[in-house]
Amino acid sequence: MDQVLVEICLRVRDIDATLDFYTELFDFEVASRREFPEDKFDLIYLNSPGSSVQIELTYNYDADPYIIGNGFSHLGVTVNDLEEMHKICKASSYETGELRGLSGGTPSYFFVTDPDGYRIEVKRKK
């Protein structure tokens, strides 16, 4: 059976802040946007350059704050220049961790948190 991961869905509270995070910080592009005002929700699909997996942002108009489950950890993104991306994230308003390496090795990743509390692991592209 041929299976392909095509999307990951994140429920978001502030669609404008979330779009700014993914499009300005990470260069994701809006692939499509579908609004369903009669059902009180919008769907925004984001493409990441170089990947066929989309992020689906689901914005429910009247939703209570979401609780991110302890089984979900993070999304991962690779970048060509880890140190430069770290500087950009640190200079932003988003919570950004320090550069780290596995078992104290050479720094190869850091985490940044989006407006809804989802963590993004930014890793050095191999």
Positions annotated as catalytic residues are: 121
The string over 107-123, giving b where at least 16 C-beta atoms fall within 10 Å of a residue's C-beta and e elsewhere, is: eebbbbbbbbebbbbbe
The answer to whether the beta carbons of residues 25 and 88 sit under 8 Å apart is yes
Rounded to an integer, what distance in angstroms lies between the CA atom of residue 116 and that of residue 21? Answer: 10
Rounded to an integer, what distance in angstroms lies between the CA atom of residue 67 and that of residue 104? Answer: 31
Contact residues for 59 (Cβ-Cβ < 8 A; gap 6+): 11, 12, 13, 15, 41, 42, 43, 44
